[in-house]
Copies of this chain bind each other. A is one copy, B any other.
Amino acid sequence: MTQAAPAPATQAVPGTQAVPATAAPVDAQTYAEIVQFYSHHMQLLDNAEAEEWADGFTEDGVFAQNVKPEPTRGRDTIAASMRRGVDRLKNRNVVRRHWLSMVVADQVDPGTVRTRYYAVVFETPVGGKASVYLSTTGADTLVREDGRWRIKYREINHDGA
């Protein structure tokens, strides 16, 4: 992490402006589904199940991050990229836990939901002490497909980057 050009200290949560004025909060059933989808999705990631994690994206899903020059496009590419990431982590002997919470979910149409949320990563070295590794905000477009939720577009913004 470099001490590069000063960024605005207060960063808007991505996607805040993206929800149409007609969108309404999702109902309790959809909210519970989405929170459980996110929880399972992050557990897969932290278990190094990169391919099962990537199955949470649509086939044409896009994963954008403010710390990357270009979004990653397509489930297979997303899976391959995350596989390299989790394999690198295995060699470092640390455990990471991705927490995703503070979810606001708006129903765009019956099969589409837009979310804005916070996520932090806790890191514990084997034999060491836990700490906060990273704080981020995120925004997703989720679509209902095969009776479950998948991510069509995800944008993650690392705080302080």
Interface residues, chain A, CB within 8 Å of chain B? 1-4, 6-7, 9-13, 16, 25-29, 31-33, 35-36, 38-40, 42-43, 46-48, 86, 89-95, 97, 99-105, 116-118, 120, 122, 124-135, 137, 159-160
Contacts and interface: CB of A to CB of B under 8 A. Distances in A.
> Is chain A's binding surface mostly helix, strand, loop or mixed?
mixed
Nearest to A134: B130
Q: How many copies does the complex hold?
A: 3
A4 B131 CA distance: 20
Given A36-B105, A43-B116, A97-B120, 15 more contacts: A4-B127, A9-B126, A32-B32, A39-B102, A94-B160, A95-B160, A97-B118, A99-B118, A100-B102, A101-B101, A122-B132, A124-B135, A127-B160, A130-B160, A131-B132
Contact of A10 (B32, B90, B105, B127): B90
Contacts of A42: 102
Nearest to A45: B10
A82 to B, nearest CB: 13
A160 B1 contact: no
